[in-house]
Amino acid sequence: MLRRKFIQSSAMILPATGLLSFTQKYSHYKNTPLDIGIAGYTFVHYSLDDSIAIMKRLNIRYLSVKDFHLPLDSSPAQVKEILDKYKAGGIEVYTVGVIYMKTEAEVDRAFDYAKRVGVNMIVGVPTYDLLNYTEKKVRAYDIKMAIHNHGPEDKLYPGPDDIYNRINKMDKRMGICLDIGHALRAGSDLVRSVKDFAPRIFDLHIKDVSAAQADAKSIEAGRGAIEFKPFVDALRSIGYTGKCSIEYEKDMKDLVPGLAESIGYFRGIMAC
């Protein structure tokens, strides 16, 4: 708690350039296996080129790409052109999504898209009636499906329990993209979720929220209700090898200061 208060008070007086220097200086730790990425929705108000520039500035190399930067109907040539831009910026697109699926045709489109992009995982939201069909596609394509939880407003998957209870007897490539902010708002215990659902947690969306309640708002990591140190300790205890993608949803039209603070805080927690 003392560390959290120190980082919070320091962040409030540091200029954005100071935060960026902090995130760049402490970008790698010898004792952590956790890779930080960015969830593409973070850049909804930014162009492809601007998002690449921001990631380079923050020294982040992993991206869960959204379809507003890499459209679902992109041709192989268009996919190559966009992926080449990311590669030139030192960025690896490791998954696609979040992709919503309400019909079999939309499931087909998602898997065809992931294959063209060359990733082995989709972050998606298939409806209940499509889970069996999605499982068939997972087997046919050998591409994992990480179902995303969206909090108490989500009628399908508010928290990770709602996903796990529906997929735990399915193919082992059917799993969870655990959004920790939405999960806390839905009443989930994050440490318990990590440990109980360990084999099915494929991806993480990292954010903080102002309170452990349904109407909580997104906030810079370390300023809110999430206890990050026990959460990171739980990830290490299960040998988590996926990405920890920051999804910053506050001040989304001027996100660099808050995004830099969140990344710096999370890196600091990993160094503890």
* pLDDT digits 0-9 by tens, 61-90: 999 999 999 999 999 999 999 999 999 999
pLDDT of residue 15: 47
pLDDT confidence tier of residue 272, bands split at 50, 70 and 90: confident
Report domain 2-9+32-271's class. alpha beta
pLDDT of residue 216: 98
pLDDT digits (tens, 9 = 90+) for 220-264: 999 999 999 999 999 999 999 999 999 999 999 999 999 999 999
What is the overall mean pLDDT for the chain? Answer: 91
Q: Which amino acid is at 271?
A: A
User: Got the DSSP string for 191-258?
Assistant: HHHHHHTGGGEEEEEE-EESSSSTT--EE-TTSSS--HHHHHHHHHHTT--SEEEE---SSTTS-HHH
pLDDT digits (tens, 9 = 90+) for 142-174: 999 999 999 999 999 999 999 999 999 999 999
